[in-house]
Structure 1
Amino acid sequence: MEQKENLLIVDGMALLFRSFYATSVTKQFMYNADGMPTNAVQGMLRHLLAAIRQAEPTHTLIAWDMGAKTFRNELFDGYKANRTAPPEEMIPQFDLAKEVTARFGFQNIGVPGYEADDCIGTISKHAADFLPTTVLSGDKDLLQLISGTNHVWIMQKGYGNYKRYDEAVFFAEMGITPLQFIDVKALMGDTSDGYPGVRGIGEKTALKLIQDYGSIEGVLAHLELLKPGVQKKIQEDLVMLELSQKLAAIHTSVPLEVNYDQCLYRGITSDSVDVVREYGLKTVERDLGLL
């Protein structure tokens, strides 16, 4: 039986950072013979290979952030302002990750001024007519991108463990549609991204408001029906609520072009083996049965 075409879109930063912190807490930076730390890159490759075994993609693509500043910083100075600089052992691994994954046959993409999430959103929307997609990430913000043609796998602990979301799973868990999740995020804010939403409204209240009234516009049209405390919080934070709605939404019209033929996944090649040996990626070498 011929394999059904499908595209695995990977959130590169999410995988790389997750892999780094999984071992850095115990100072397991896995230096190679040249003294370069490789823990993040090796963990990322192992996650990628585990995902490929399960998703069986015909095409693969990895999206990356390209620098710290995006259009969201122009909207709001405080956006991601609380993020600390990456640890020094992480810094050389950004370029290494892109080189190694490219030699494993993954197409890498990123657009200055936009986040990886925006590239992922744009590609999943663009491919909807001809190529089903699966997004791999640890970031629940991407759940807003779930559609009939795009599933989102959120990584759990360990390799190859995912919470797999399609429209039905998402609705069963949240009681709203994926697009309504943007308004939930806008109300509750996001401390890791540094925007507050409506101060004093948490996830539970935000979700209930959108379940009951459908959207932020619906909530504002029925303010008089809300509890006085909730009503007051929203009224005091209307400007930030409107801004948070813009910050929470993933941009799906990034100016990018994808050559899907170049995204064809060809499996483990001699170049994959060479790069593993070249950079002394012993854990991956063992995983591939090369040791």
Structure 2
Amino acid sequence: MTQSKQSILLVDGMALLFRAYYATAYGGYIRKTSTGTPTNAIYGFIRYFMDAIQKFEPSHVVCCWDMGSNTFRTEKFDGYKANRDSAPEDLVPQFSLIKEVVEAFGVPNIGLTGYEADDCIGTLARIYSESMSVYILTGDHDMLQLVSDQVNVIIMKKGHGNYALYSPDVLLEEKGLTPEQFIDLKGLMGDTADNYPGVKGIGEKTAIKLITEYGSVEGILDNMESLTKSVRSKIEAELDMLHLSRDLARIRCDVPITCDLDSCTWEVNTETVRSKFEELEFQSLMKLIG
């Protein structure tokens, strides 16, 4: 069954790969080929990937990747993601192999040095949403800022095949925020995962209250005299970091990349995929491609 309406699935490659790695590695067993190549993350990635395609039935698919840890964000702020550990040793050889697998499915791998996968996804979502529905598959809540009438964000939840699908209405109902306000929220409260602080002393609860009341960071700054003395002094002391944190949180949608729509039509050559699965000793996954 395929949708008559065209839609594109933009896959956050690293989000799926890391999730797949840790979902299996915590038990201590790492799946490997007979020659010793670790494949547990690739195996899990394919299962997540195929499950989402079967569930959301896109007519087109693209996979986006981070291209190294140095980006324009690390140039703006030394501490950006500086708290991240290096990738587990068993995962490193799977980075290049997974791209070969994605290619075997006939899906383009997109990434650009100096930008994150998020920025590539944001840019492609902007381009494709002019002519079709866009679905973004990720585990990263930062992507919620990209939600629009034409763009839905699929957040992978715990458990296989378990998703939360966000439209602007769902985002407003669940978080009480618009996509643009989601960026302001990160500016105020920061992001511990990405290691930027926002305004010290302002947590999620206070940040949401301020944004709900004043609409935006600009609205808050225009009404400083209405704030409590405590909140006002915190914002005044961290004004530069507030603006910097918001800038770091904003996904860029103007990255200089292109991906011709015809190149990402979901049309699997089963023989190509079968050959790659045989190479990786994924006999049990053959059923996914018929």
TM-score range (shorter-chain normalised) is over 0.9
Following superposition, the deviation at residue 267 of structure 1 comes to 3.6
Over aligned residues, Cα RMSD in angstroms?
Answer: 1.4
Partner in structure 2 of residue 288 of structure 1: 288
Partner in structure 1 of residue 63 of structure 2: 62
Q: Which amino acid aligns with 1:254?
A: V
List runs of 5+ in structure 1 lacking aligned partners. Answer: none
Following superposition, the deviation at residue 180 of structure 1 comes to 1.1
Question: 1:194 aligns to what SS in structure 2?
Answer: coil
**Cα displacement string for residues 61-90 of structure 1 (whole angstroms, at most 9, x for unaligned residues):** 000000110000111111111111101001
1:37 aligns with 2:38: yes
Partner in structure 2 of residue 226 of structure 1: 227
Q: Which amino acid aligns with 2:15?
A: A
Show the 5 A alignment for 1:12-51.
12-51=13-52
Question: 1:13 aligns to what SS in structure 2?
Answer: helix
1:140 aligns with 2:145: no
Partner in structure 1 of residue 188 of structure 2: 187
Give the Cα separation in 2 of the matches to 1:143 and 1:6. 18
Give the Cα separation in 1 of the matches to 2:22 and 2:75. 30
Following superposition, the deviation at residue 288 of structure 1 comes to 2.5
8 Å CA contact 2:50, 2:288 repeated in 1: no
Q: How many residues align?
A: 289
Question: 2:20 aligns to what SS in structure 1?
Answer: helix
8 Å CA contact 2:277, 2:285 repeated in 1: yes
Give the Cα separation in 2 of the matches to 1:108 and 1:169. 30
Following superposition, the deviation at residue 233 of structure 1 comes to 1.1
Question: 2:171 aligns to what SS in structure 1?
Answer: helix
1:93 aligns with 2:110: no
Following superposition, the deviation at residue 284 of structure 1 comes to 2.5
8 Å CA contact 1:189, 1:198 repeated in 2: yes
8 Å CA contact 2:270, 2:289 repeated in 1: no
Q: Which amino acid aligns with 2:254?
A: S
Partner in structure 1 of residue 125 of structure 2: 124
Following superposition, the deviation at residue 280 of structure 1 comes to 1.1
8 Å CA contact 1:38, 1:281 repeated in 2: no
Q: Which amino acid aligns with 1:288?
A: L
Of 208-217 and 137-146, deviating more is: 208-217
Show the 5 A alignment for 1:69-80.
69-80=70-81
Give the Cα separation in 1 of the matches to 2:138 and 2:289. 26
List runs of 5+ in structure 2 lacking aligned partners. Answer: none
Following superposition, the deviation at residue 135 of structure 1 comes to 0.1
Give the Cα separation in 2 of the matches to 1:275 and 1:289. 12
Name segments (4+ residues, structure 1) moved above 2 Å: 281-285, 287-290
Q: Which amino acid aligns with 2:240?
A: V
Please report the TM-score for the alignment, with normalisation by the length of structure 1. Answer: 0.96
Give the Cα separation in 2 of the matches to 1:4 and 1:190. 37
Following superposition, the deviation at residue 225 of structure 1 comes to 1.5
8 Å CA contact 2:17, 2:44 repeated in 1: yes
Partner in structure 2 of residue 243 of structure 1: 244
Q: Which amino acid aligns with 1:115?
A: E
Following superposition, the deviation at residue 92 of structure 1 comes to 0.2
Partner in structure 2 of residue 175 of structure 1: 176
Partner in structure 2 of residue 202 of structure 1: 203
**Cα displacement string for residues 258-281 of structure 1 (whole angstroms, at most 9, x for unaligned residues):** 111010001461111111111112
Partner in structure 1 of residue 113 of structure 2: 112
Of 253-262 and 201-210, deviating more is: 201-210
Give the Cα separation in 2 of the matches to 1:258 and 1:48. 20
**Cα displacement string for residues 145-182 of structure 1 (whole angstroms, at most 9, x for unaligned residues):** 00011000000112211000011111111222111100
1:153 aligns with 2:154: yes
Give the Cα separation in 2 of the matches to 1:84 and 1:203. 25
